[in-house]
Structure 1
Amino acid sequence: MPTDPFKNLNPAQPVKVLPRHLAGPGPASPSTVWPFPFDQDWSLHQPEEGPAFATSPCLRLWTSFELQPDKPRKGTWTIAANRIPFGPAAWKITLDASTPVELLHDLHTELLDLYLEDRHSDRDWLYEDEIAPHEAYAPLFARGWSHQVKTDGTQIFLAPEGLGGLRHRYATTGPDGPTWRAWGGYPSEPHWQARFSSGTPTTLVAAFTASLISTEPVHRTAQDVPFHTRHQLYVAAPAPAKQTTGPLPVAPPPQSPGRSL
């Protein structure tokens, strides 16, 4: 097993690490994840206890965060779109609170962009997305992810180290469940999962996978990184902070054996 690059570090030592799917959640909160213009027309409901909600002016789009610190994955982020205000959800995305905060923020940023495009267009981009599924998974090949097509109407993409994945249900003959599911960690017991229901705009899935495989390191402290998979992380650089326990191992980001973006 590779050595643990964090074993000689003070737990509070800031570091920059890759890959993102193994970096741990980071400091996620509605204020760091939601980019919505609450000073303009978006509504925010954030009580002292219970879920926080953000709602679009048209009341057809909402997102929420329910913190559950006693649960293994600490709670749930939910995004949903309704064709009519307060109607049934046309599609829904659910993400564990243990999902890396950078993935959550990039997804919600794309959600706002899609909403604004929908608002200023004669098309319902929130419900009539024309982006093909391969736009969401093709970039994975350039980062060395493997690909397997199954006979149940699904295809699975696995990260090079096998500790992250994306499952796409491309045929309606497959089992019930989300059209897309992503995870980080061991498949049998992932650190986090994200689920995208049928009807979710592929644009949002593509934004999530682009953030998932980004080569921009994320900021964490040594104690933030999940213990069981930290030996698979690359320390891209130490963050500016005084080091107390010896030199910091520095490794380059993973090199993809395939095409480059």
Structure 2
Amino acid sequence: MTAQPDPQHEIDGDVYVSPRYLASTTGTGDPALAPLLDLRWSVEHDDLGNGYISAPDRRVRVGYLPEGEDDGLWRINAYRDPFGPPVWGACFNDRTPTEFVTALTTALATAYEQGPGACLARPVAGIEEHDPFRTVKPLLDQGWVLDQPRRRVFAVQAPDGLAALEYTRGPLDRDAELTTRDARWQLWAGKSIDRPAWYATFSTDTPVAVLTAVTECVADPAPLPRWCAATFSYIEGMARLTPIFPPAPTPLDVRRAVAARRPAALPAASVPRWSITSRPALPGPRR
């Protein structure tokens, strides 16, 4: 599939962006925070406006860091011991489509409600529910193809070559997985992994259910709605933009509109009536 030129000069207003992985952030974190706030997780802010969301037992923490030290806008960590190191971590940079972050926080909220074990369930090859390679199936089902771009790296690539999910084999530095892009899984979109338009990383022990929720959202063929004038909301020059037109009015809509514009009926003219208090008629002219 060949990327289409950006038609921004012809389109204005609301648009659909396709494929959806060529969209970008919506510019607000509210949708991704909602699944956690609905569970009444605590929220704290620093002086810069960064937000920190914690589960009641402090075993899961989410950082929304618009004023962070790097482009890692979202950092999600899970802990077996609230005072120990993270068991697993995920990071989304500041241009990742917000819907993909929301998919993770929704799955995370569901797992947390199931108990601590669900949030900390390690991937186990050969066990279907926890098999790490189950995460690539939604992408393969949508025509993504297997690839080996580099030594020790296995990848599933989008048909147009503008997105990929990469898996690095062999031992990795645990701390580096949580703080850099050298993680077990990396999802990205753009012309190359060296300078992606957006990226997300997931460390070795990220639960399969959590990561699969993200790949299912990425693989969904439905486009994402965005505002065309905000060029940060899609990958300029690569994404296909389709105007979103309001639905055509139905006959009932037309009748209601006509009725709303019709002037109100004038009150009926008062008709004088004789009564016992009426003044008697004046005598008419003589003939």
TM-score range, shorter chain: 0.7 to 0.9
Alpha-carbon separation, structure 2, partners of 1:39 and 1:145: 35
Aligned to 2:279: none
Provide the TM-score with structure 2 as the length reference: 0.71
Aligned to 1:14: 14
Alpha-carbon separation, structure 2, partners of 1:110 and 1:149: 29
Aligned to 1:80: 77
Q: 2:203 aligned with 1:206, yes or no?
A: no
Q: Which of 180, 187, 190 does residue 182 from structure 1 map onto?
A: 187
Aligned to 2:252: none
Q: 2:167 aligned with 1:168, yes or no?
A: yes
Alpha-carbon separation, structure 2, partners of 1:240 and 1:47: 41
8 A Cα contact 1:78 1:92, kept in partner: yes
Q: Which of 194, 204, 222 does residue 228 from structure 2 map onto?
A: 222
8 A Cα contact 1:183 1:193, kept in partner: yes
Q: Which residues of 2 match residues 224-243 of structure 1 at below 5 A? A: 224-225=230-231, 229-240=235-246
Higher helix share: 2
| CA shift for structure 1 position 19 | 1.4
8 A Cα contact 2:63 2:76, kept in partner: yes
Provide the TM-score with structure 1 as the length reference: 0.78
**RMSD between aligned alpha carbons?**
2.9
| Secondary structure of residue in 2 paired with 1:85 | coil
CA shift digits 1:233-259 (9 cap, x unpaired): 333551549xxxxxxxxxxxxxxxxxx
Alpha-carbon separation, structure 1, partners of 2:102 and 2:78: 18
- 1:229–1:81: structure 2 CA closer, same or farther, 3 Å change rule? closer
2:6 aligned partner, one-letter code:
D
Alpha-carbon separation, structure 2, partners of 1:207 and 1:162: 22
1:3 aligned partner, one-letter code:
P
Alpha-carbon separation, structure 2, partners of 1:100 and 1:162: 18
Count of residue pairs brought into register by the alignment: 232
- 1:143–1:225: structure 2 CA closer, same or farther, 3 Å change rule? farther
- Structure 1, unmatched stretches of 5+, are 242-261
Of structures 1 and 2, the one with the larger relative CO (CA 8 A, separation 6+) is 1
8 A Cα contact 1:52 1:64, kept in partner: yes
Higher Cα Rg: structure 1 or 2? 2
Higher strand share: 1
Q: State the identity as a percent.
A: 25
- Structure 2, unmatched stretches of 5+, are 123-128, 248-287
Q: 2:59 aligned with 1:60, yes or no?
A: yes
